Amino acid sequence: MAEHMDPEEFRRAGHAAVDWIADYWATLGQRPVGSSEPPGALAAALAGGPTAQGEPVEAVLADLDTLIAPRLTHWQHPGFFGYFPANTSGPSVLGDLISSGLGVQSMLWATSPAATELETVMLDWLADLLDLPQRFRSGGSGGGVIQDSASSATLVATLAALHRASAGRWRAAGLDRRYRAYTSTEGHSSIEKAARIAGLGGDGLRTIEVDPQTLAMSPDALRAAIRADLAAGDVPAIVVATIGTTSTTAVDPLPEIGAICAEYGVWLHVDAAYAGAAAVCPELRWSHAGLEYADSYCFDPHKWLLTGFDCDAFWVADSGELIEALTVLPEYLRNAASESGAVIDYRDWQVPLGRRFRALKLWFVLRWYGVEGLRAHVRAGVALADRFAARIRADDRFVLAAPHPFSLVCFRLAAGDEASAEVLSRVNATGRVLLTHTRVAGRFTLRLAVGSPLTTLEHVDEAWKLLSETAEKLPTVHE
């Protein structure tokens, strides 16, 4: 029977695991981006259950090579251009490794003081890095916390907004009136899910039309919707505006939206899950104009800022409202530090009680890359996307489908939806690249999102070559 792994055994096995990861990264470009195997292939290969006496790490790593890795979609691959980037980096992996080794619970300051204080400082560092409004910094009424994802941040913001809009009644007696949430038709699906979980019902979210050119929320349409709901006796609770929508990276006009929210007393949450990282570069901070109106804001370092999933940075202007909405204090969590009021207990800033030491990997990333290293990474992605977009503009077989202010390019074939879908299928089947799709103005649209630290000019050019050569083989009839 295998006994607990002692420190020396762990050291040996750990070296082997780190070597495996390093070899994986070194060979990623030689692997297909995705798996071509049918559903159930891995499950069938794993049939039988664990051995009675345990196995050495070498056996597990061997099966990782032969069973697991070939059946993955490789999100770190230099040819992965799908969805949004979800990139990690060496410093992030090391921080996560140490966090796992420490195995601490950071739900309260008292349960791991350094974990709480490092998280507070890291969110202030990030706020400085993005030049966020002063109201989001710690030391005053606001502050930041790490959530697992922007979806959770939206849910937490929605709960805090309901607490404010109902004067706390939703906690004691449920929702006494119809409360409304608002986002654009381009808003993320998690906004609707948050509204449902928060008890607003299937029709609790109002989707607001967008400008047909920019695909950004229409302030006039938002104002009209709020006025209509007020006239019907409903309570506007929260508006979720987006910096960098999922389909096309559209940027909602925060100055106008924020002024409307201030006029009607509606909570404004800004979801910048992907594009928030762009604000590390001063020349891209135009996207955050109007953020001073926001009651809460989030972005995902685990998308475009080289920090492994899960790590969403979430700030509020008034942490007191958030704590009032979410706190529940059983006797077994009472302690002198919490009751002194001198510490932050992050359990009150999220839905779950328990929380990992996620700030450690963020600390590693920020210290390794520094400000200029992070800016260089973002700028490289924007430049590569610009180069690809220029190729699209110069070829009359293709059409740019939306503006591309960051590192996502949306495009389609002039020949029509069927041709666009066929090119996507054929290009992805090569295993050299992976792109995804959306619909823009009802049209089937391809998305190429640059973000991997392994992606170079050569990889973007290869994607263009595959697309161009594949399009050449299709009928040339244009719509």
Tens-digit pLDDT profile for residues 432-459: 999 999 999 999 999 999 989 999 999 9
pLDDT over threshold 70, residue 7:
yes
How far is the C-alpha of 60 from the C-alpha of 401, rounded, in Å? 46
**Residue-wise pLDDT tens digits, 228-244:** 999 999 999 999 999 99
In this prediction, residues 346-368 reach a mean pLDDT of: 93
- In this predicted structure, which of 144-158, 159-173, 315-329, 459-473 has the lowest mean pLDDT? 159-173
Q: Which residues lie below 8 Å from residue 408, measured CB to CB, with a gap of 6+?
A: 84, 248, 249, 274, 385, 447, 448, 449, 450
Higher pLDDT, 50 or 271: 271
**Residue 408: beta bridge partners?**
449
| DSSP 3-state percent helix, strand, coil across the chain (nearest 5) | 50, 15, 35
Q: For 272-418, list the strands marked E by DSSP.
A: 296-299, 312-316, 398-400, 408-413
pLDDT at 478 over 70: no
Residues 383-435 pLDDT 10s: 999 999 999 999 999 999 999 999 999 999 999 999 999 999 999 999 999 99
Comparing C-alpha atoms, which of 449, 123, 109, 451 is closest to residue 297? Answer: 123
Mean pLDDT of the chain: 92
User: What DSSP designation does 145 have?
Assistant: E
Q: Phi and psi of 446, rounded to 5°?
A: -90, 150
Average pLDDT over residues 69-91: 93
| Mean pLDDT across 175-187 | 89
First to last CA, the chain: 68
Question: pLDDT above 90 covers what percent of the chain?
Answer: 78
User: For residue 277, what is the DSSP state?
Assistant: G
Residues in the chain: 479
Residues ≥6 apart with Cβ < 8 Å to 79: 29, 33, 432, 433, 434, 455, 459, 462, 463
Answer yes or no: are the C-beta atoms of 393 and 445 closer than 8 Å.
Answer: no
pLDDT of res. 331 = 67
Per-residue tokens: 238: 């929260």
pLDDT in tens, 284-293: 999 999 999 9
DSSP line for 224-257: HHHHHHHHTT-EEEEEEEEBS-TTT--B--HHHH
Q: What is the mean pLDDT of residues 144-155?
A: 95
**Which residues are within 8 A (CB) of 279 and not within 5 positions of it... i.e. 6 or more apart?**
129, 130, 131, 132, 272, 285, 287, 288, 299
pLDDT at 278 over 90: yes
- The answer, yes or no, to whether residue 100 has pLDDT greater than 80, is yes
- Mean pLDDT value across residues 132-140: 93
Q: How many CB atoms lie within 10 A of CB 101?
A: 10
Domains in the chain, CATH or no CATH each:
104-356 (3.40.640.10), 364-472 (3.90.1150.10)
What stretches of 319-358 show up as alpha helix (H) in DSSP?
Answer: 319-326, 336-340
- Predicted pLDDT of residue 341: 83
Q: At what angle do helices 359-393 and 90-102 cross, to 10 degrees?
A: 150
pLDDT band at 477 (very low <50, low <70, confident <90, very high): very low
Rg over alpha carbons for the chain, rounded to the nearest Å, is 24
Q: What is the pTM of this model?
A: 0.93
CA-to-CA distance for 226 and 477, rounded, in angstroms?
46
- Cis? peptide before 252, omega within 30° of 0: no
pLDDT at 172: 56
Distances in whole angstroms, Cα of residue 109 to Cα of each of 186, 288, 342, 372: 39, 32, 10, 32
Distance CA 197, CA 440 (A): 28
Give the helix/strand (H/E) hosting 439. strand 436-440
Q: Hey, CA dihedral for 246, 198, 357, 19, is it positive or negative?
A: negative
Question: What DSSP string runs through 81-107?
Answer: -SSS-----HHHHHHHHHHHHH----S
Helix (H, G, I), strand (E, B) or coil at 369: helix
| Confidence category of residue 203, pLDDT binned at 50, 70, 90 | confident
Residue 171 has pLDDT above 70, yes or no: no
Q: What's the pLDDT score for residue 300?
A: 97
